Chains A and B, each alone.
Chain A
Amino acid sequence: MTQTNPENTTPHKHGIGVHDALDTLVQMRGERHIVVTNQVSSRLWPTLSDHPLDLNYNPSAMGGAIPLGLGLALAQPDYEIIVLSGDGSLLMNLGCLVTVVDSGVTNLSIVLLDNGQYEVTGGQKTPGYNGANYAGLARASGFPCVHHFTEAATWQNEAANSLSGTGPRFVWLTIRPQPGDYGKSVGRPIQKQMARLRQQFRADAQ
Chain B
Amino acid sequence: MFTATQIVDALVELKVTHVIWIPDTTTGSWEPALESCSHFQLIRVCREGEAWALAGGLLIGGSLPIVLIQNTGFFESGDSMRNIVFDLGIPVFAIIGARNWLTESSSDTARRFTLPLVQAWDIDFEFITGPEEQEKLFLHFRKCRRTNQAGILLLAE
Contact = CB atoms under 8 A, between A and B. Distances in A.
A194 B18 CA distance: 20
Contact of B58 (A71, A96, A190, A197): A71
Given A71-B56, A99-B45, A64 B84 contact: yes
Interface of A: 55, 59-61, 63-76, 93, 95-96, 98-99, 102-103, 190-191, 194, 197-198, 201
Contact of B50 (A59, A76, A99): A99
The 6 A-B pairs of least Cβ separation, nearest first, read A71-B57, A75-B61, A95-B46, A61-B83, A64-B53, A67-B53
B60 interface: yes
B82 interface: yes
B47 interface: yes
Q: Which of B18, B82, B83 has the most CB of A within 10 A?
A: B83
B90 to A, nearest CB: 8
Given A61-B49, A95-B50, A194 B55 contact: no
A72 B60 contact: yes
A40 B65 CA distance: 29
Given A59-B87, A190-B87, A75 B60 contact: yes
B134 interface: no
Contacts, number: 107
Main secondary structure of the interface of A (DSSP, over half): helix
Interface in B31-60: 41, 43-47, 49-60
B89 interface: yes
Contacts of B54: 67-68, 70-71, 99
Nearest to A191: B89
A71 B61 contact: yes
B63 A194 contact: no
Given A61-B82, A64-B84, A75-B62, A93 B47 contact: yes
B23 to A, nearest CB: 14
A99 B62 contact: no
A61 B89 CA distance: 14
A29 to B, nearest CB: 18
A187 to B, nearest CB: 14
A103 B43 contact: yes
Contacts of A70: 54, 57
B79 interface: yes
Contacts of A69: 57
Given A68-B84, A95-B46, A102-B43, 8 more contacts: A63-B50, A64-B49, A66-B53, A70-B57, A74-B43, A75-B17, A95-B45, A201-B61
